[in-house]
């Protein structure tokens, strides 16, 4: 099955074996609602860490049976995060998700030298799957949240994560657009020279199966009319499946434009650790969190 709409991500996840999800210090309605739906859909079994009495009270308020979850009583968010990492390292869980712990503390747990879930030399990066209103397909984009200014070697690694995500979502030969200010290569614009280098590397087979083109502006990546008007020649332009942004500012603005202006649905993960890590905002909807759990279940190698 190939992902055509973001809502199909639930169906795709249900085709995979059920995973064990651990949630770090959960104390909010949206996260518990999302985890409950993921359990009811047969995507995961769930372990919730946090203040047990509060978790049960939230479940009761939402008319959710708290007995369907394993609940580990933890009053300290960081210790809850490290406990979840321990479960991953011990093979007792396959996915990890942020609850109401702060993003900084959550990431510190993942990166902890003694109890974290990082492999030596690994790169953490953020992958988003979004269905922008007005576009004809879902887009896989990065990095919008973790690496501020990736160099060309980091972009190579980010790109392989994005391509791997596309493959696991059923797209065997995704079209990749390397985003810059324009389609012209200029030494004054690092994103353009990086894009040129990445295209050269693609010719040497350093990337998984894909079509890679760039540099190009966002209009050329997704708008067939702009491609025709400008006479731009590319197998990717106007129909991209993947957007690689040059830096966190451009990626983050795109991400928030999709969510705030276009009200687009999405799923998002941090990848590069031993398992996918759901890093949702405290303000994200339960649907976004559910889709992110499903994406994690689809993309994990555990």
Q: What's the pLDDT score for residue 97?
A: 97
- Number of domains composing the chain: 2
Report CA dihedral (207, 289, 276, 8) to the nearest 10 degrees. -50
Residues 177 and 238 in one domain: yes
Q: What's the pLDDT score for residue 285?
A: 84
- Report if residue 157 sits inside a domain: yes
Domain span holding position 45: 8-121+273-299
The model carries a pTM of: 0.94
**Partners of 126 in the beta sheet?**
270
Residues 159 and 252 in one domain: yes
Residues 189 and 219 in one domain: yes
What CATH number does residue 57 fall under? 3.40.50.10950
Q: What's the pLDDT score for residue 297?
A: 97
Residues 46 and 105 in one domain: yes
In this predicted model, what pLDDT tens digit does every residue of 125-163 receive, in sequence order? 999 999 998 898 999 999 999 999 999 999 999 999 999
Residues 153 and 234 in one domain: yes
Can you give the C-alpha Rg of the chain in angstroms? 20
Q: What's the pLDDT score for residue 142?
A: 93
- Report if residue 91 sits inside a domain: yes
Kindly tell me the sign of the dihedral angle through the C-alpha atoms of 291, 294, 300, 302. Answer: positive
Residues 101 and 56 in one domain: yes
Q: Copy the structure tokens of residue 106.
A: 């959550």
Residues 240 and 178 in one domain: yes
Q: What's the pLDDT score for residue 121?
A: 87
Q: Copy the structure tokens of residue 90.
A: 């011990």
Residues 131 and 115 in one domain: no
Q: What's the pLDDT score for residue 77?
A: 97
CA nearest to 59, candidates 79, 35, 40, 81: 35
What CATH number does residue 132 fall under? 3.40.718.10
- Report if residue 152 sits inside a domain: yes
Q: What's the pLDDT score for residue 302?
A: 73
The series of mean pLDDT values per 10 residues for the chain, 302 residues long, is 90 95 95 96 97 96 96 97 97 96 94 93 95 92 95 97 97 97 94 97 95 96 95 95 97 93 93 94 84 96 78
Residues 113 and 147 in one domain: no
First and final C-alpha spacing in the chain: 20
Q: What's the pLDDT score for residue 196?
A: 97
């Amino acid at each position: 099955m190939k992902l055509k709409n973001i809502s199909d991500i639930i169906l795709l996840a249900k085709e995979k074996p059920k995973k064990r999800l651990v949630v770090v210090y959960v104390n909010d309605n949206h996260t518990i609602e999302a985890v409950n739906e993921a359990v009811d859909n047969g995507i995961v079994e769930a372990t919730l860490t946090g203040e047990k009495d509060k978790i049960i009270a939230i479940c009761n308020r939402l008319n959710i049976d708290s007995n369907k979850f394993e609940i580990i009583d933890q009053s300290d968010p960081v210790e809850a995060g490290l406990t979840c990492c321990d479960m991953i390292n011990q093979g007792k869980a396959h996915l990890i998700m942020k609850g109401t712990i702060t993003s900084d503390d959550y990431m510190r747990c993942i990166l902890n030298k003694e109890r974290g879930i990082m492999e030596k030399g690994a790169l953490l990066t953020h992958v988003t799957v979004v269905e922008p209103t007005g576009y004809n397909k879902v887009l896989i984009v990065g990095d919008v949240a973790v690496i501020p200014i990736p160099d060309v070697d980091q972009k190579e690694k980010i790109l392989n994560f994005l391509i791997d995500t596309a493959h696991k979502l059923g797209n065997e030969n995704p079209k990749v657009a390397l985003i810059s200010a324009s389609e012209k290569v200029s030494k004054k614009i690092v994103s353009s020279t990086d894009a040129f280098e990445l295209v050269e590397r693609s010719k040497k087979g350093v990337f998984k199966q894909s079509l890679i083109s760039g540099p190009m502006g966002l209009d050329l990546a997704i708008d067939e009319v702009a491609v025709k008007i400008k006479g731009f020649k590319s197998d990717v332009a106007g129909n991209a499946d993947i957007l690689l942004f040059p830096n966190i500012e451009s990626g983050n603005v795109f991400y928030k434009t999709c969510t705030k202006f276009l009200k687009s649905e999405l799923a998002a993960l941090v990848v590069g650790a031993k398992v996918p890590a759901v890093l949702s905002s405290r303000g994200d909807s339960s649907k976004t969190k559910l889709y992110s759990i499903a994406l994690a279940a689809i993309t994990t190698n555990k």
